Amino acid sequence: MADSSLANRGTLRELAWFIVIGGVQYVVDVAVFGLVQFTTGQTVAANVLGRASGAVCGYFLNGVFTFRALGRAPGHYGRRFVAAWLFMTALSTAAIKGLGALAAGSAAPGLLVLIKAGVELLLFLASFLLCKCWIFVPRAAVPAPSCVGPDSGALFLFAHADDEFFFAPRIKRLVAAGRPVYCVYATDGAARGADPEVRRRESARALAQLGVPETHQFYLGVTQGIPDGQAHRAIARLAAAIEDFARARPLGEVYVHAWEGGHADHDATHLVGVALARTLGVPRVCECPAYHARSRLPFRVMRFIPRPGPVEVQRLTLAEGLFCLGLMGSHPSQWRTWLGLGPEAFWRLVVQRRHACRPVAGIDYTRPPHPGPLLYETRFGVSFAEFRAATGEFVAARIAAAPGPTACGAAP
């Protein structure tokens, strides 16, 4: 049950968000009401259409950002919202008609718009209380079916703090299934003078929203002193640290960055994850795309480089897509990065509403991920020749061939 107390910081945050989003909703509502009222003269129709237009905006924005329920936890949100909306719309319409009759007998359209605006302001607090205490109260989660043991953990190996963004739908799904999820960060994230502690706090905030406890978050790049951009040069030390960590935990899956040439740290942690799975006998290792330059565009985001083999597509609701996209807000120190990556991420998560991963199989790690210049060659100053020289011995010793897909099929 959600905390219904109104005297706490959480409620103040919710009220602030509700006011901002309510402003947007209010403008949409009154604007549609005025347009329909002036063009048709139908007060009831105008009020219903105005409230419906504002309600669609308010439902998704408040559900995702204010009360953090839509796309995050299961609940009867839709049916409760419709019931509350019907009640509040009937109340609003009756108040407008009654006040209009009292004010002018047959009120002019302009006066009715002013009456409408006043009525909606009075109903604002009631709407907030309904949303907080009833509409967006989650119900208990029912674990989703899993193709591996319910107690086996899933290890997510990230290069940098904020990389959890590219895996967020998969993390959220596994947490909802009751699976232990471990998130390991391979570098200190201190590129361009960034503060590693600031970046750690930002990722901790994002993971908390995804349901990953702090006890399952590990920042090995900081403790091991592996600088951002240097994972390929410290690959043996990084692999040894992660292997020590993983041996103490039963793992059924390992998730890594796609082998795509976007960032040298991404490709280095991919190699570490594949080697870890082979060494420990983890039955399933999958990759998720972040960004790469195999395109006529400067870069592509959350899109796989084509390769033979199955791709597992996780369908998202609109609320889930908005929720995952909103995790960008957990990383204000990286706002420049999100300016570039955000538009296509919005397309993938909110418009297409899908997230892809695929089993790692059949990759030749002696060759670049794709023809032409790699993104980390043109943007980050690391050539594939340098990367290969630093990781070639590790690949030869630890990765004879990437593991094939398991018979398990699609991930939960």
Q: What percent of the chain has pLDDT over 90?
A: 53
| Residue at which a domain ends, from 103, 135, 167 | 135
Q: What is the mean pLDDT of residues 97-108?
A: 65
Quick one: 123 and 249 in the same domain? no
Task: Write down the pLDDT at residue 7.
Answer: 45
Quick one: 128 and 253 in the same domain? no
Contact by Cβ (8 Å): 350, 325: yes
Q: What is the mean pLDDT of residues 291-310?
A: 92
d(CA 288, CA 281): 21
Contact by Cβ (8 Å): 53, 28: yes
Does the reported pTM lie above 0.85?
no
Report residue 218 as tokens. 């590990």
Task: Write down the pLDDT at residue 402.
Answer: 45
| Residue at which a domain ends, from 107, 135, 163 | 135
- The CA dihedral of 61, 67, 73, 75, to the nearest 10 degrees, is -90
d(CA 324, CA 348): 11
Residue 394 domain flag: yes
Distance between start and end Cα atoms, the chain: 26
CATH number for position 310: 3.40.50.10320
Task: Write down the pLDDT at residue 330.
Answer: 93
Residue 272 φ then ψ, to 5°: -65, -45
Q: What is the mean pLDDT of residues 272-288?
A: 94
Task: Write down the pLDDT at residue 227.
Answer: 95
| Residue at which a domain ends, from 80, 101, 135 | 135
Task: Write down the pLDDT at residue 145.
Answer: 41
How far CA 91 is from CA of 47, 53, 98, 126, in Å, comes to: 11, 17, 11, 12
Task: Write down the pLDDT at residue 64.
Answer: 82
Q: What is the mean pLDDT of residues 346-370?
A: 93
Task: Write down the pLDDT at residue 229.
Answer: 94
Quick one: 108 and 191 in the same domain? no
Pairwise pLDDT comparison (219 vs 412), residue with the higher score? 219
Quick one: 123 and 169 in the same domain? no
Residue 202 domain flag: yes
Quick one: 130 and 202 in the same domain? no
Task: Write down the pLDDT at residue 136.
Answer: 83
pLDDT at 382 exceeding the cut of 90: yes
Quick one: 24 and 95 in the same domain? yes
Note down the domain range covering 19.
9-135
Lowest pLDDT segment from 15-29, 196-210, 355-369, 373-387: 15-29
Q: What is the mean pLDDT of residues 9-36?
A: 85
| Structural domain count of the chain | 2
Quick one: 104 and 164 in the same domain? no
pLDDT at 255 exceeding the cut of 50: yes
pLDDT at 412 exceeding the cut of 50: no
